[in-house]
Homo-oligomer: A and B are copies of this chain.
């Protein structure tokens, strides 16, 4: 089902390669651990829903430099002083490290590592850019989609946004993430083929407009798609279109409304459909919808059965970037391992390899997360980061997308309801363990001590 994806190692930032060259040249053969997380969540987001791990693992398994790639790099002036051994190394470049990660479809919160890479520092560095953009993008879309699905309160939500996505490939990945988060499917055919997402289609205004007569357009379409037709009724006059459908004796699966006051129109449409004997014809709404609009429509009693959501979901329009970071937390040299932290200005990175421990209350709902050191133990808490790749190979087959989707549904339901509200959700309690806080203090002291002698010589 899946098409081969292009996993060029060139999908990286140049500084990953200049740093790699410097590490290589200086025989800095250190292993390192990097953790990927989002420092704080955007407005109106109280949780993230992780997605995109599968694409990260596929990339790590197959990332390569081709000869043409290496030729290109050697020609760049910045590499003028880099010896050929480094480029020979790039020819053999493979990812050989370990990955620990949260399962796709797991809620995550600010500061919580969603993924950790441990491996030779050059490898862990070169893969940074791809991992960040892949995992945080899909996580962002899934997080948005989960909110839209919540707002729809059991009604189907179909992802419609490829045309407004950040390029066609972003549209395919957004469709995957939205489905993982509970959407019923997507309009994106490639996502259907590549990932098995159910595909949905209606018809466009252009189809209605192509015929001189709206009723003829409806008849032609209904005839060919008797069980699946969703007739778009707002090209000229919505209520007149309903009359045409009734008069022509058509029995569409649904009608779609894409503009106007959706509450009023959907009520009128419902009444006319029912009076015309089309009780089983559903009302499908679209047109600049998001979770806020959907919640309002339903609160105001709009008899809408399903929603098509495009731009707002496929671009996470109100929060179109998560501040995902990928931070060095430990280096392991021949002399042993040493934790790392960063203290520049406002941005502190906690040191060491971590684990996220999730606690439940008696009813099974999630109560609190503790971000601790990897080797801490908490009875009754679930550790969320698990090994998914070792020596550059998956340790087990990864879950399919439907499994991820079921997991996500179950997990989101365990987040306290107050945190799942569409408007003004509460923050979920997350704290750092005292062991981790202690480690941060000791690293800070060590780094400060190391800096002092140099400062004193000024």
Contacts and interface: CB of A to CB of B under 8 A. Distances in A.
B323 A320 contact: no
Contact of A14 (B199, B213, B454): B199
A243 B458 CA distance: 8
A166 B137 contact: yes
A188 to B, nearest CB: 7
A328 B165 contact: no
Nearest to A221: B22
Interface in A136-156: 136-138
Interface stretch (A125-133, A299-307, A381-389, A404-412): A125-133
A168 B127 CA distance: 11
Interface string A254-281: 0000111000000000000000000000
A236 B344 contact: yes
A234 interface: yes
Contact of A321 (B125, B164, B173, B323): B164
A235 to B, nearest CB: 6
B236 A447 contact: yes
A31 B323 CA distance: 47
A113 to B, nearest CB: 15
29 contacts: A13-B189, A15-B203, A17-B189, A19-B207, A30-B210, A78-B199, A78-B225, A121-B210, A125-B204, A129-B168, A129-B188, A132-B164, A137-B170, A166-B166, A166-B320, A169-B169, A205-B327, A206-B327, A209-B328, A209-B340, A214-B451, A236-B342, A240-B455, A243-B455, A259-B345, A259-B346, A260-B344, A260-B345, A317-B321
Q: Closest 7 interchain pairs by CB?
A: A14-B201, A320-B320, A166-B166, A15-B201, A206-B328, A132-B163, A169-B169
